[in-house]
């Protein structure tokens, strides 16, 4: 049955428009219904924007009231907390390749993939076109600026950005 839901998601629901297109709330509900059947765990009132790609979903956990941004690409063991806001074109990868053995080519089937989970805390805002690499943890109440490439973990209440991403300030210190 899961393969039917997977087919319906990628063949149909994947392409349904989002806000402000008329009927977008119904399309969000259709995607949510299918995604809830696919993910390891899917919280309540999760919004999946169109063209969000997450493989078969078996290694993805999403908390309550969170969103996957439009055109997002998620791969590997990923845990996204509650109330996480994700902009469009975000990439979160928890899988990489072993590059230590020079005798193996990158596409060599005996070159093992390296799995290193990614954890996103609660109440995190991930800006447009952020890339989060394997093994990263982002603490709760953090903000990741658009275009950041996150190569290391950050504690709660962090405002981070840049390539590679670095701590800009702690939330609470920021004056608007």
Catalytic residue among 53, 83, 97, 115: 97
Our answer to whether residue 97 is catalytic in this structure is: yes
Given a contact cutoff of 8 angstroms between Cβ atoms, the answer to whether 108 and 90 are in contact is no
Question: For the chain, what's the residue count?
Answer: 176
Alpha-carbon distance of 139 to 123, in angstroms, equals 9
Alpha-carbon distance of 28 to 133, in angstroms, equals 28
Show Cβ contacts of residue 62 under 8 Å, excluding neighbours closer than 6 positions.
39, 41, 42, 43, 46, 68, 80, 84
User: What are the angstrom distances between the C-alpha of 33 and each of 28, 150, 164?
Assistant: 9, 31, 36
Q: Which of 53, 82, 46 is closest to 67 using CA atoms?
A: 46
Q: Three-state DSSP class for 123?
A: coil
User: What are the angstrom distances between the C-alpha of 13 and each of 10, 30, 34, 171?
Assistant: 6, 7, 8, 37
Q: Indicate which residues carry an active-site annotation.
A: 97
């Amino acid at each position: 049955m899961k393969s039917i839901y997977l087919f319906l998601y990628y063949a149909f629901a994947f392409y349904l428009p989002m806000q402000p297109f008329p009927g977008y709330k119904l399309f969000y509900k259709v995607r949510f219904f299918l995604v809830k059947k696919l993910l390891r765990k899917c919280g309540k009132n999760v919004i999946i924007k169109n063209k969000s790609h997450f493989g078969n979903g078996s290694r993805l956990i999403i908390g309550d009231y969170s969103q996957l941004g439009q055109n997002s690409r998620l791969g590997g063991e990923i845990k996204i907390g509650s109330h996480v806001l994700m902009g469009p074109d975000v990439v979160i990868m928890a899988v990489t390749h072993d590059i230590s053995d020079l005798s193996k080519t990158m596409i060599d089937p005996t070159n093992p993939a390296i799995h290193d989970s990614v954890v996103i805390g609660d109440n995190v805002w991930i800006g447009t076109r952020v890339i989060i690499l394997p093994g990263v943890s982002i603490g709760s109440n953090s903000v990741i600026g658009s275009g950041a490439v996150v190569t290391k973990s950050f504690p709660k209440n962090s405002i981070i950005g840049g390539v590679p991403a670095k701590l800009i300030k702690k939330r609470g210190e920021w004056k608007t």
